[in-house]
Structure 1
Amino acid sequence: MLNKHLLIVEDEPDMQQGIKDNLEFEGYTVDVADDGEMALKKITNGEFDLILLDVMIPKISGFDVCKQIRHRGIETPIIFLTAKGEEIDKVIGLESGGDDYMTKPFSLRELMARIKAVLRRTGNSNQPEVETLVTIGKLEVNFDNYLAVSDGQPVKLTAKEFEILRYLLDHKNSTISRDSILDSIWGYDYQPTARTVDNFILKLRQKIETDPNHPEILITVHGIGYRFVY
């Protein structure tokens, strides 16, 4: 158990609940707030290890919430979550005291990685270092540096291929539905078709399987999804 207490400040119910469920699954203790006033009250009265703060929330904006708590001397790490993608908004968020910034739609896998990175960077992480260089079939993969090598030669993997591979590795030897992969990698606000997942799996098989036509690592579970044998 991570024993880290996180606050989600998000007024969209499905987004709030989806993030909360995934954080709790990862072992975090999670509290929520629906607007800026509630967020300020909870932050002032409680101790959190990290805050996920939506910018466009009722009553008090996320930027102003951040400014107010920083003015009060509260240095809890903040990751801004927002639909705004303009560079100036990112600058404002970071200059107001934020530690990181994610633009919706985002994948849950990326969000979890950003949370862990901010906790490590701010000294709030009590997690042991995990192995980031792993052998998967024909590939040696470094997930920290997004590098892959086969027989001493670099192999090009896209960012999405790295994310899917990491997700499959985290759920090794379990049957994973296409919907789970879609939600975790592409996020809730943007939904490609199940066929998109199948196409990525086919590309990954070409890179990791000895015989992609007879896979032994990325196994199809008909009618459901895939099993990653490791």
Structure 2
Amino acid sequence: MKILLAEDTVDLNKVISQMLEMQGFDVDSTFDGQMALEKALSNGYDGIVLDIMMPKMSGLQVLKEIRKRNIVTPVLMLTAKAEVDDRVEGLDAGADDYLTKPFAMKELMARVKALTRRGSQYAAKELSFGDITLKSESLELIASNTVRLSLKEFSLMQALLLNQEHAVDCNYLIEHVWNDEADVSEETVWLYVNFLRGKLSYIDSNVEIKGDKGGPYQVVINE
């Protein structure tokens, strides 16, 4: 599981990063809102931990921007006791949870674990992009025509659609689509990308998958 942590207090950032890594998370650590936003727009994450008060951009500004870009990654906001209005605004803007400082590290770890489990809720029954609809119950990909996908093809298309705002690298896809299976390589991902390209062509879609062998890959609308 990959976590984006945005906390400008250096010592606290270091402690949280170390604790998350001890729990088995892969952590991208940032110290200001601008860098957090850039990371969120260019990488796929299973959860994001945002401090509200940060330099360059506040956590609220980052949250609003990523939600505006249709990034549905679960977000935990870190707030000070006095930031009640900000907390409410954050929840209204799409935060999934909040934790008030000071907090026990054990509670933060529990919240992050719950947050990443909750991420599976975002695997909606239907995902749409351009002229395509991806249906989870029937594993169908629909545009002018309809085609049924294999489970791996479906999982790959789902991962690409959930990260439609940015290109996704091979390591992320191997971890999330193939669950780090030992015999899966960049060659495997490339093979399935081409399977999906063929099926997008078959259903006469205006959506295509950009990227060369080795990735990264991104779904785009071909006008």
For Structure 1 versus Structure 2, the TM-score category normalised by the shorter chain is 0.5 to 0.7
User: Per the alignment, in what secondary structure is the counterpart of residue 16 of structure 1?
Assistant: helix
Partner residue, 2:100? 103
The answer to whether residue 104 in structure 2 is matched with residue 120 in structure 1 is: no
Offset from partner CA, 1:39-84 (integer Å, 9 cap, x none)? 1111111111101000000011100100000000111110001224
C-alpha separation in 1, matches of 2:9 and 2:74: 22
Deviations, residues 103-144 of structure 1 (Å, cap 9, x unaligned):
1000011011111112222317xxxxxxxxxxxxxxxxxxxx
d(CA) in 2 for partners of 1:75, 1:114: 17
Counterpart in the other structure of 1:11: 8
The alignment's C-alpha RMSD in Å is 1.3
Aligned to 1:144: none
Question: Is this contact kept in 1: 2:47–2:119, CA < 8 A?
Answer: no
Structure 1 unmatched runs, 5+ = 125-230
Q: Percent identity?
A: 49
Q: Is the 8 A contact 1:85 1:103 kept in 2?
A: no
Q: Distance in 2 between matches of 1:92 and 1:84?
A: 14
Whole-angstrom distance in 2 between the partners of 1:18 and 1:78: 19
Among residues 84, 101, 106, which one is paired with 1:87 in the alignment? 84
Looking at structure 2, the residues matched to 17 and 120 of structure 1 have their Cα atoms a distance apart, in angstroms, of 24
Runs (5+) with no aligned partner, structure 2:
122-223
Taking the aligned partners of 1:38 and 1:9, their CA distance within structure 2 comes to 8
Q: CA deviation at 1:5?
A: 0.3
Give the distance between the partners of 1:34 and 1:86, measured in 2 at CA. Answer: 20
**CA deviation map 1:142-194 (0-9, x unaligned):** xxxxxxxxxxxxxxxxxxxxxxxxxxxxxxxxxxxxxxxxxxxxxxxxxxxxx
Output one character per residue of 1:25-51: Cα deviation in whole Å (capped at 9) or x when no partner.
011000111111111111111111101
Please say which structure displays the higher CA radius of gyration: 1
Provide runs of 4+ in structure 1 moved above 2 Å: 84-89
Matches within 5 A, 1:184-223: none
Q: How many pairs are equivalent?
A: 121
Alignment-mate amino acid for residue 107 of structure 1: A
**CA distance 1:94–1:5, change in 2 (3 Å):** same
> Which TM-score applies when normalising by structure 1?
0.51
